[in-house]
Amino acid sequence: MIRIAIQTKGRLNEESLALMKSIDIDVESAKRKFLSKAANFPAEVLYLRDDDIPQVVSSGTAQLGIVGLNEVEERGCDVEIVARLGFGGCRISLAVPKGDKYEGVEYFNGKTIATSYPVILGKFLKENNIDAKIEVITGSVEIAPAAGIADAIFDIVSSGGTLVSNGLREVERVFESEAVLIANRNLGSEEREVLDEILFRIESERVSSRKKYLLMNIPKDSLDEALTILPAMRSPTVMPLAAEGWCSLHSVVEADELWNKVKQLKAIGAEGILVLTLDKIIL
């Protein structure tokens, strides 16, 4: 049995649960229980605030966790980052009032910067030899300059809309983040096996989401050409059709090449082209 810490509510909750579902680990949402055992997998989910997840995983109260890389870095907890999950993308940036002249990081010398990420900011300032005061605020950092609490801010940016609506300008992108799967450093062999199974399923899911399954009828005369257009995982499947001179061709293609392939196949006489979404690809 492995315990996975997931955010109770907030920006990462929904996609963390969607990820669990996509790899067929069925757990109940946090609305019902703070600890939910999967019906069909040796795992249970522990719902927590994201701030607590790195610590809980590093101490071993949970063996795994899904959390923003920014939280892992800020808490400085010793955990293994086992997978980047491709959602919750954001950055932590320095922003200044939009009217201020900004010519480089020296701007921040002698300034006060409001943030909820003092550790990451402190490291950046040290690396750049900047002597600035860090004012720690836990919420609504973006209002600090207008409220006279600070000269600038260091905060999470995603679309940039919050900065614009608060009259601020992003000047330094300091830390790139996304949701990551973290693991305790001292997993037992059984826990490691469950983690490997989870990683295997995540990878299968990732591979299948980038591919499409393609079926079509094609004149036998065009088959050789079709096979050069469609390099499948090993080779495409070709089946005879009752209609004389035709066969059915099945293949897997990269989703971002789909329309280009379809165009080429139509040009050599393919008909009745079906495009299917793949649920899983087990390589």
Residues within the interface to ligand PRT (CB under 6 A): 7, 10-12, 49-51, 68, 70-71, 88, 90, 155-162, 177
Q: Smaller CB distance to Zn ion: residue 51 or 135?
A: 51
- C-alpha distances in Å from residue 172, one per residue of 24, 36, 103: 40, 41, 11
- Residue in the shown chain whose Cβ atom is closest to ligand PRT: 68
Identify the residue among 50, 155, 172, 191 touching Zn ion (CB under 5 A). 50
Residue whose CB is less far from Zn ion, 15 or 51? 51
For the CA atoms of 209, 202, 11, 186, the dihedral, rounded to the nearest 10 degrees, stands at -170
Both tokens of residue 201?
A: 């399923």
Nearer Cβ to Zn ion, position 50 or 155?
50
Whichever of 158 and 237 has its CB closer to ligand PRT, that residue is: 158
75 binds Zn ion (CB under 5 A): no
Residue 45 Cβ, how far from ligand PRT at the closest point, in Å?
A: 14
Task: To the nearest 10°, report the CA torsion of 148, 149, 153, 154.
Answer: -170
Tell me which of Zn ion, ligand PRT, none is bound by residue 42, counting a contact when its beta carbon lies within the kind-specific cut-off of 5 to 8 angstroms. none
Residue 49 to residue 113: CA distance in whole angstroms: 25
**Shortest Å distance, C-beta 133 to ligand PRT:** 21
> How far is it, in rounded angstroms, from Cα 109 to Cα 122?
13
Q: Is 46 exposed, middle or buried (CB count within 10 Å of its CB: 0-12, 13-18, 19+)?
A: buried
Q: Which residues are near Zn ion by CB under 5 A? A: 50-51
